[in-house]
Amino acid sequence: MSKLNLQKKSVAPNVTGFPAQGGAGSNPGNVVQLPSHGSPSVEPLSKRETKLSVKEIVIGYHNKESGQMLLTVDRVSLDVKEGEIVSIVGLSGCGKSTFLYAIAGLVPAQGGEILVGGKKVTGPGSDRAMVFQKASLLPWRRILSNITYGLELNGVAAEAAEKKAHHYIDLIRLNGFEDHYPNQLSGGMQQRVNLARALACDPEVLLMDEPFAALDAITRELMQRELLTLCEKMGKTVLMVTHQIDEAVLLSDRVIVFSARPAQIIADIKITIPRPRGGVTKDSAEFRELETRIWSLIEANANIGGGI
Amino acid sequence: MSGHAETLNKSLKREKQLHLFLGAGVILLFLLVWEAIGGFELVNPLFTSSPSRVVKAAILLVKDGTLLTHLTVSAKEFILGYAAALVIGVPIGIALGWFKGFSAAFGPMISAFYATPRVALMPLFIIWFGLGITSKIIVVLLSAIFPLIVNLQTGMTTIDRDLIMVARSYGASRWQIFRSIALPASVPFMVTGLRLAAGRALLGVIVAEVFGGSQGIGYLIQYAGATFQTDKVFVGVAVVATTGIILDRGLHRAGRYFDRWRGDTAVG
């Protein structure tokens, strides 16, 4: 079905051949449709409610040898509005992934608090879902039941979960692969399943930990565009950690630059390139300028911090 | 399929046939030489026997029902001992791998037991359980149980940490992680354990019967040997070897079924 549905939109050139989602008819009833970024009816970002709020968070761990507390994240505050896509960039080992894991509830924080939809985070919960750097699919499960895995753990009935999973299979263009095992899929395909598994849970905030870092350059480029289309279509609130500055600029409404460890925010840059960005070329002056600016911020910080 | 692939397939097939032919040829040659040694009386056939004598002895043993009687007893010992090892060993292995406290408490004791040759305990088992079938079942049980315990424990402790992280991120409870990740992840280890255990159990049956018994294939071998009936010894050995091969192949097949998700064909 998806192959026939490759209608090209005039507004957003569909670079990846991503099937434009059909009308209400093709959308299973139980999938909530969030307003799309591009549509004019959506309120501007500044007026939307805050979905994720991180207040003065401190994350550290005890060094067993010295018995000292080593700070990873030092009093970082961050607000993400509904439907906003925010990326965090920084040197490797700066604590940005730890920060994300803390929001996911997988790493305890020593101070401050994290609120999702106004509720305090005390551990993992179904209001958040994480897309991991490694696809980490359960190898003994077929693709369909890998996508239902998160729903299953949240107690969703098998039938409802499968119905949802079919919808996301369509969305990530893996029709026909439902009954394959992860080992039979390429890295890019596996990563799409990883994404679908998280999306299927319909989280309030989608967390992504360098989702394309393990892919080859070509696949990564394609996946970025695919994710861009997907995000703009679904209007999800997204917090993403990445090493790729171009990826951050292309996808995000804001790019947060983290300092070297212990992580602090050194810049919060608004990306005003209009959406939908389907046709944005990474060679445009605006894009280049943003990239250079972010890169120089990171570079300056690397020198201060004593190098990489 | 392209013509190139077809040619490749054909040459692969031919190579396989050649290998089969070579394997069978060597076995045939061995049997011929063995027959000749006995037939030309190069060595007293009392010591070496010969394929034709072994076949004759086998037919005789089958006809008078001796082989079946002994085989039944051995099979019973094997099945009961192996089943007991499965029922006891699998939960112990899982518990050792899953509960750190359990492993700390019982790990050393089990390792010590593992290091002890079970056959050395045979006299004790005979004192405790008599010369009947029970003492044999105990030996089979103790032979088969350790590969199961060790493999399952390994399976449980070598689970991919990333998968557990995924499960935790979706709010999985410890029980859910156990059921949805730890158990399926240890299936291949269990299959390996079952194969190793089958081999050990078979050895346990024969050794226990040779050591002290009045029935079973092991006893048949021991008795035939003691009375210089080399033909019968070879019949017994052949029966044991065949059983071993069938068990191993069968479990290998079963294992491949449970392992089918490990396929290596990638698309796209």
Note the pLDDT tens digit of each residue in A286-295.
Answer: 888 999 999 9
Question: Taking the domains of chain A in order of start, what are their residue ranges?
Answer: 47-127+204-308, 137-202
Structure tokens at A278: 């389907």
Rounded to a whole number of angstroms, the distance from the CA of A289 to the nearest CA of chain B is 36
Residue-wise pLDDT tens digits, B173-190:
999 999 999 999 999 899
Q: Give the residue-averaged pLDDT of B256-262.
A: 81
Q: Residues with Cβ < 8 Å from B81, sequence gap 6 or more?
A: B136, B137, B138, B139, B140, B141, B143, B144, B201, B204, B205
What's the topology of domain A47-127+204-308?
Rossmann fold (3.40.50)
Pick from A136, A194, A205 the residue to mutate for testing the B interface (most B CBs within 10 Å). A136
Residue B119 in domain: yes
A vs B, Cβ pairs < 8 A, gives 76
Residue-wise pLDDT tens digits, B188-214:
899 999 999 999 999 999 999 988 878
pLDDT for residue A31:
43
Which residues does chain A have within 8 Å of residue B180's beta carbon, measured at their own beta carbons? 138, 149, 152-153
Q: Do B138 and B119 meet the contact criterion of CB atoms below 8 Å apart?
A: no
| Domain boundaries, position B238 | 51-262
A193 at B interface, C-beta within 8 A: no
What does the CA dihedral B159, B162, B164, B170 come to, rounded to 10 degrees? -160
Rounded to a whole number of angstroms, the distance from the CA of A75 to the nearest CA of chain B is 24
> What is each CA distance from B161 to A61, A190, B138, B193, in whole angstroms?
19, 18, 38, 23
pLDDT exceeds cutoff 50 at B48: yes
Mean of all residue pLDDT scores within chain A: 81
Domain check: are B171 and B191 in the same one? Answer: yes
Domain check: are B118 and B153 in the same one? Answer: yes
**Rounded Cα distance, B165 and A152, in Å:** 16
Q: Residues with Cβ < 8 Å from A256, sequence gap 6 or more?
A: A78, A86, A87, A88, A89, A265, A267, A268, A269
Q: Give the residue-averaged pLDDT of A216-229.
A: 85
Mean of all residue pLDDT scores within chain B: 89
Residue A238 pairs in a beta bridge with A85, A206
pLDDT exceeds cutoff 60 at A23: no
Q: Does the bond joining A276 to the residue before it have cis omega, within 30 degrees of 0?
A: yes
Domain check: are B67 and B156 in the same one? Answer: yes
pLDDT for residue A43:
64
**Lookup result for tokens 């307003």:** A35
Pick from B162, B170, B259 the residue to mutate for testing the A interface (most A CBs within 10 Å). B170
pLDDT for residue B255:
85
Rounded to a whole number of angstroms, the distance from the CA of B130 to the nearest CA of chain A is 47
Q: Does the bond joining A274 to the residue before it have cis omega, within 30 degrees of 0?
A: no
Q: What CATH number is given to the structural domain containing B86? A: 1.10.3720.10
A287 at B interface, C-beta within 8 A: no
pLDDT for residue A279:
65
Number of domains in chain B: 2
**Rounded Cα distance, B28 and B32, in Å:** 6
Q: For B170, which of A154, A185, A189 is closest by C-beta distance?
A: A154
Q: Give the residue-averaged pLDDT of B216-222.
A: 93
pLDDT for residue A40:
41
Q: Which helix (H) or strand (E) holds A88?
A: strand A85-89
Domain check: are B12 and B28 in the same one? Answer: yes
**Lookup result for tokens 């390996």:** B192
Q: Which residues of A91-125 are buried (b: 16+ CB within 10 A; e: fewer)?
A: beebbbbbbbbbbbbbbebeebebebeeeebeebb
- Pick A223 or A45 by higher pLDDT: A223
Residue B43 in domain: yes
> How far separated are the first and last CA of chain A, in Å rounded?
49
B268 at A interface, C-beta within 8 A: yes
Domain check: are B40 and B103 in the same one? Answer: no
CA angle A170, A173, A174 (to 5 degrees): 90
Residue B94 in domain: yes
Alpha helix stretches (DSSP H) within A80-142: 96-104
Residue B268 in domain: no
Q: Do A112 and A55 meet the contact criterion of CB atoms below 8 Å apart?
A: yes
Rg (CA), chain A: 19
Residue B267 in domain: no
pLDDT for residue B3:
63
pLDDT exceeds cutoff 90 at A281: no
Q: Give the residue-averaged pLDDT of A99-109.
A: 92
Burial class (CB in 10 A: 0-12, 13-18, 19+), B39: middle
Q: Give the residue-averaged pLDDT of A168-193.
A: 90
Domain check: are B41 and B169 in the same one? Answer: no
The tally of CA atoms less than 13 A away on the side-chain side of residue B228 is 4
Residue closest to A278 by CA, chosen among A219, A216, A230:
A230
Domain check: are B73 and B40 in the same one? Answer: no
Residue closest to A187 by CA, chosen among A132, A130, A244, A135:
A135
Please say whether the dihedral angle defined by the alpha carbons of residues A105, A110, A116 and A120, taken in this order, is positive or negative. Answer: positive
**Rounded Cα distance, A2 and A17, in Å:** 10
Residue B1 in domain: yes
Domain check: are B80 and B24 in the same one? Answer: no
pTM flag (> 0.95): no
Strand, helix or coil at B214?
coil
Domain check: are B199 and B89 in the same one? Answer: yes
What percent of chain B has a predicted confidence (pLDDT) above 70?
97
A147 at B interface, C-beta within 8 A: no
Residue B131 in domain: yes
Q: Give the residue-averaged pLDDT of A102-129.
A: 90
A156 at B interface, C-beta within 8 A: no
**Rounded Cα distance, A113 and B83, in Å:** 54
Residue closest to B35 by CA, chosen among B19, B54, B16:
B54
A104 at B interface, C-beta within 8 A: yes
Residue-wise pLDDT tens digits, A54-75:
999 899 887 777 777 788 888 8
Q: Which of A298-307, B50-59, B71-80, B120-129 has the lowest mean pLDDT?
A: A298-307
pLDDT for residue A6:
39
pLDDT for residue A95:
86
Q: Which helix (H) or strand (E) holds A49?
A: none
Q: Do B182 and B169 meet the contact criterion of CB atoms below 8 Å apart?
A: no
Q: Is A12 left (phi over 0), alpha (psi -120 to 50) or beta?
A: beta
The interface predicted TM-score (ipTM) is: 0.78
pLDDT for residue A17:
39
pLDDT exceeds cutoff 80 at B58: yes
Alpha helix stretches (DSSP H) within chain B: 3-39, 45-48, 51-63, 66-98, 100-115, 122-129, 133-157, 161-169, 174-177, 183-185, 187-211, 217-226, 230-258
Domain check: are B168 and B209 in the same one? Answer: yes
Domain check: are B214 and B244 in the same one? Answer: yes
A184 and B167 in contact by Cβ < 8 A?
A: no
Domain check: are B3 and B96 in the same one? Answer: no
Amino acid identity, residue A276? P
- For residue B30, name the pLDDT band (cuts at 50, 70, 90): very high
Residue closest to A207 by CA, chosen among A133, A130, A96, A126:
A130
Structure tokens at A168: 């996301």
